[in-house]
Amino acid sequence: QEQLVESGGGLVQPGGSLRLSCAASGIIFSIYTMAWYRQAPGNKRELVAGIDRNRDTDYADSVKGRFTISRDNAKNTVYLQMNSLKPEDTAVYYCTGDNRGRKYWGRGTQVTVSS
């Protein structure tokens, strides 16, 4: 059974940091392109960051220089380090795994940036 489980969300003050984790099971993790999406209330879901099997990364312009995506294939886990958080980063963050069009989604973790 393919499964992605996110963790690490929570409430943080502006300027703070959080690290999200996504643990994968039931897939050959090392060959999957992994990514983080987010969706704020009233907004469309948007791609935040992605990392492919070669560890090439891509980021939304809004998070470049603040967020870092990484992966640990030995632990079947992808991370999103988020620094200098802003209120506009508030959203539900979803992890995805994609291989040749077969895409899986986690259930999401809430990130709230507020003072």
**pLDDT tens for residues 7-44?**
999 999 999 999 999 999 999 999 999 999 999 999 99
**Looking at residue 25, what is its pLDDT?**
95
Q: Rounded mean pLDDT of the chain?
A: 97
Q: What is the pLDDT of residue 101?
A: 86
Question: For residue 69, which of 44, 100, 38 has the smallest C-alpha distance?
Answer: 38
pLDDT tens readout for residues 57-99? 999 999 999 999 999 999 999 999 999 999 999 999 999 999 9
